[in-house]
Amino acid sequence: MNVKNSNNEEISNTYISLHGESTQIIQNFNKVDTKEIKPTTYNVNKNIYEEDLTIVVDHLINLNLNDLNKGNEDHIRKKHILDYINSHNIILQEIYNWLLNNQYHSNSIYLLGYFNYHGIVTNIDKKKTSNLYQKAAELENVVAQLDLATMYIYGEGAEINYIKAFELSKKLAEKNNPNAMNRLGYCYDHGIGTCINEKKAFELYQKAAELGNSNGINNVGWCCESGFGTNVDKQSAFKLYQKAADLGNANGMNSLGCCYENGVGTEINIKKAYELYQKAANLGNDFAQFNLALMYEYGNEIKKDITKAIYWYKKSAKQGHSYAQKKLTELLENEL
């Protein structure tokens, strides 16, 4: 994360550029004892056979793995899964019931956890998700291992465990998994489960990028912009951000917007910066939401609109963005 202030008193020209995964600390939940899921009585559409649903589940896992390796964000992963289920005329309740009764394979175990994580059919239960991911990970399920590593970093449903996050990421990175390479680079970048090593972080980001991971591409751009583990090259940074943005990566869109707002590797173009922030903000990127709120608060070559500034600060603050939380408090106090 880069924070650049125009002066010591205000941050009207501040921009945040996200590299790697968000460093916000998410509330840490306590672990619960792992319990076996008891089979329940269910009715599956008689036109859908057991082997058909097994194939569907396997395909959904492959779809999810492909999204992870491309660097696609959670909302895209979820959309792809729901779209596939809907396109095959499968009722969500039916596949959920089938999963409950078929906890014998790692893919079924993982997918039930995924449903619990996103509140698909059932209520959101990240503790249960963590337990199911751990079971699937022990059975060498790659998708479960990737998602579990993320949980260990942020404490979402599982206790924060940087050592396990590092070990899982390292294990999968050694198998040339692009998502794991990017996360392992993030571990070396931030000292998660290991010592900070700029050179290793850059090399791993670069490997992930070469395999098409859009987060890795964005991260290599950040390294080039800041001289992290490599030489400063702002033109290359701009091109890499553009590439990540073109792949639909919201972090890349935000980073590219920062370049246009501040003239990093390109000419200043506030209109393009605004458009990119808005696009990434609508995709749920908390950094872009913060940057967009700043533009509305200060009227930086767009019409000043405190109401819209508050709206986007709230969106960003809700995701744990500390600067957005601070700005939101200040604006709300001024409004009162």
Mean predicted confidence (pLDDT) in 185-208: 98
- CATH class of segment(s) 49-160: mainly alpha
Name 161's Cβ contacts closer than 8 Å, sequence gap at least 6. 152
| pLDDT on residue 38 | 40
Using a 10 angstrom Cβ sphere, with 0-12 exposed, 13-18 middle and 19 or more buried, the burial of residue 271 is exposed
Indicate the pLDDT class of residue 166, thresholds 50, 70 and 90. Answer: very high
Q: What angle do CA 21, 27, 32 make, to 5 degrees?
A: 110
Lowest model confidence (mean pLDDT) among 19-23, 53-57, 270-274: 19-23
DSSP tag of 294? H
Cα 121 from Cα 94, distance rounded (Å): 10
Share of the chain above pLDDT 90, in %: 76
Q: Compare 10 and 95 and report the one with higher pLDDT.
A: 95
DSSP symbol at 48:
S
Query: In angstroms, what is the C-alpha Rg of the chain?
Result: 21
Which amino acid type is present at position 275? E
CA nearest neighbour of 262 among 225, 229, 216, 217 = 225
CA geometry: angle at 84 spanning 81 and 87, to 5°? 150
Mean residue pLDDT of the chain comes to 86
User: Over 60: is that where the pLDDT of 50 sits?
Assistant: no
CA atoms within 13 A on the CB side of 107: 15
Rounded alpha-carbon distances, angstroms, from residue 219 to 16, 182, 243, 333: 14, 8, 12, 37
pLDDT tens for 213-258 read: 999 999 999 999 999 999 999 999 999 999 999 999 999 999 999 9
Chain segment 117-134, per-residue pLDDT in tens: 999 999 999 999 999 999
Percent of the chain with pLDDT over 70: 85
The token pair at 50 is 């057991």
